[in-house]
Amino acid sequence: MAALAPLAKRLNQIKSFHVMALLDRAKQLESQGRDVIHLEVGEPDFPSPDNVVQAGIRAMNAGQMRYTAPTGLPELKRAIADFYQARYGVALDWHRVVVTPGASGAISLVTALLFNPGDGVLLADPGYPCNDNFLHLLGAQPQRVATGPESHYQLTAAQVRQHWRDNTRGAWVASPSNPTGTLLSLTELGAIQAEVDARGGALLVDEIYHGLTYGLEAETALALPDLNDSLFVINSFSKYFNMTGWRLGWLVAPERYIEPLDRMAQNFFLAPPTVAQHAALEAFSPQSIAIYEQRREILHQRRDFLVRELPALGIRLRCVPQGAFYLYCDVSAITNDSFAFCGQVLEQTGVAITPGIDFGDHEANHHVRIAYTADLVRLAQAVARLRDFIARGGA
Ligand SMILES: Cc1ncc(COP(=O)(O)O)c(C=O)c1O
């Protein structure tokens, strides 16, 4: 038999998420007729608004199926820039917008743009795990820094100063964050930027959960003066705009990087998805924004419900998250093995949640992520099931 081609070594570093095993088990249970409440997924449970879908259908019917420019339709870039003006009062030159296949496309472009093999990038632990893997793909090194409730699980300027090493080339934050739902204020972002700038590094700010904040508006890093031309903002149509499957996001980069980004987009993606771009234009219409804002209010109510109910079960929130649709919960009173805990919860209650070990190492076995991507009725059922489970001793 012919020898099989070996996998590239980098694959050793790219691990599957633990939650995938739980998801498989959840599917098995469902096929046996068990009712599973899915609070593990990182995607809104709302469909794309009908007017957005219709815009996509109209584009298809009009034959809009060819490649667009590699960094996207100019009219979509303009619409994105206008959105920054309308929502944040930030004037943004639309030429600085690069439309990408999801925020994931933006992340692969910006990391390839900036980092060489051996370079390090500071990130918060816990954080979005895929970021590490984008860096591994380049032979670069995620340098995770343990964060806790005292800094609302966000990297601080002091930590950037303290943990910057000889090979560090940048810092990468997310506001609101996955898995913690916590924000960085513009002041905190500015302080981090000052540390990064002083060391000649780049600052990457993931704003994919913007729009999903409760009782306040997130501040965009684009409101900061970008003195060193080293600020990159990542965003997407996936979360606030409820368009996960359309695969569309964007990157805002300093002007001098647009040409190399265009060159990479030409080579790696050719173009972002055309139909999705036409649909996304409709996502900024007043009609769509009204729908998104109603949905934001629904998420707000769900968050408040869980924040009220969970502590009585021994599921602690060490700070109340103001954004995204996640609660990063301290379950140290119940377990010190987050994966085993999530497995037992699934088996015995049919509630699917994500173990903290999917988001880093720091106190990861004492945490779980609960996504409030189900309606209030289902959330109340989930709470009741968890209450029974924990009252029975959690096993
Ligand atoms: C923090 C963060 N960044 C980026 C992404 C990628 O999103 P997408 O590629 O769907 O835009 C996600 C998805 O969950 C995320 O949570």
Q: How many structural domains is the chain composed of? A: 2
Angle at 24 between CA 108 and CA 328, to 5 degrees: 65
68 contacts 277 by C-beta, under 8 angstroms: yes
383 lies in a domain? yes
Which atom of ligand 1 is least distant from the CA of 209? 1
Distance of alpha carbon 314 from alpha carbon 321, whole angstroms: 18
140 lies in a domain? yes
Which atom of ligand 1 is least distant from the CA of 107? 4
Residue the block writes with tokens 């860096």: 135
Q: Which of 250, 283, 316 is the last residue of a domain?
A: 283
Q: Which of 216, 248, 283 is the last residue of a domain?
A: 283
Residues 270 and 371 both lie in one domain = no
pLDDT score recorded for residue 395: 55
pLDDT tens across the length of the chain (395 residues):
677 899 998 898 888 889 989 999 999 999 999 999 999 989 989 999 999 999 999 999 999 999 999 999 999 999 999 999 999 999 999 999 999 999 999 999 999 999 999 999 999 999 999 999 999 999 999 999 999 999 999 999 999 999 999 999 999 999 999 999 999 999 999 999 999 999 999 999 999 999 999 999 999 999 998 888 999 999 999 999 999 999 999 999 999 999 999 999 999 999 999 999 999 999 999 999 999 999 999 999 999 999 999 999 999 999 999 999 999 999 999 999 999 999 999 999 999 999 999 999 999 999 999 999 999 999 999 999 999 999 988 75
127 lies in a domain? yes
277 lies in a domain? yes
Q: What is the dihedral of CA 31, 130, 97, 232, to 10 degrees?
A: 150
What CATH number corresponds to the domain at position 26? Answer: 3.90.1150.10
Residues 107 and 40 both lie in one domain = no
Residues 256 and 302 both lie in one domain = no
DSSP conformation class of 370? E
Structure tokens at 388: 């029974």
Residues 39 and 130 both lie in one domain = no
Residues 329 and 250 both lie in one domain = no
Spacing, Cα 362 to ligand 1 middle (Å): 21
295 lies in a domain? yes
Which atom of ligand 1 is least distant from the CA of 177? 1
Residues spanned by the domain of 349: 12-47+288-389
Q: Which are the contacts of 354, defined by CB distance < 8 A and separation ≥ 6?
A: 18, 19, 22, 40, 179, 342, 368, 369, 370, 371
Spacing, Cα 250 to ligand 1 middle (Å): 11
Edge to edge, the sheet with strand 97-100 lists 97-100, 249-252, 231-236, 202-206, 168-174, 120-125, 141-146
Sign of CA dihedral 173, 175, 181, 183: positive
Residues 294 and 275 both lie in one domain = no
Which atom of ligand 1 is least distant from the CA of 42? 14
Tell me which of 134, 206, 238 to substitute to probe ligand 1's pocket, judged by most ligand atoms within 8 Å of the beta carbon.
238
Tell me which of 128, 183, 235 to substitute to probe ligand 1's pocket, judged by most ligand atoms within 8 Å of the beta carbon.
128
Sign of CA dihedral 187, 188, 193, 196: positive
Residues 201 and 137 both lie in one domain = yes
What CATH number corresponds to the domain at position 221? Answer: 3.40.640.10
> For the chain, where are the alpha helices, taking DSSP H only?
18-31, 50-61, 74-88, 102-114, 130-137, 157-163, 186-198, 258-268, 274-283, 286-309, 338-349, 376-391
pLDDT score recorded for residue 1: 66
pLDDT score recorded for residue 207: 98
Residues 238 and 373 both lie in one domain = no
Residues 73 and 213 both lie in one domain = yes
Residues 158 and 245 both lie in one domain = yes
Residues at CB less than 6 angstroms from ligand 1: 42, 102-104, 128, 174, 178, 206, 208, 236, 238, 244, 249
321 contacts 328 by C-beta, under 8 angstroms: yes
Residues 358 and 273 both lie in one domain = no
2 lies in a domain? no
Count of alpha carbons within 13 angstroms of residue 99, beta-carbon side = 30
pLDDT score recorded for residue 83: 98
**Long-range contacts (CB closer than 8 Å, 24 or more residues apart) made by 118-122:** 118/167, 119/167, 119/168, 119/169, 119/170, 120/165, 120/167, 120/168, 120/169, 121/168, 121/169, 121/170, 121/171, 121/172, 121/204, 122/155, 122/159, 122/160, 122/163, 122/164, 122/168, 122/170, 122/171, 122/172
pLDDT score recorded for residue 247: 98
The protein residue with its alpha carbon nearest to ligand 1, atom 13, reads 42
pLDDT score recorded for residue 227: 80
6 lies in a domain? no
The protein residue with its alpha carbon nearest to ligand 1, atom 4, reads 103
Residues 278 and 308 both lie in one domain = no
Q: Which of 249, 283, 317 is the last residue of a domain?
A: 283
7 lies in a domain? no
Tell me which of 99, 130, 207, 237 to substitute to probe ligand 1's pocket, judged by most ligand atoms within 8 Å of the beta carbon.
130
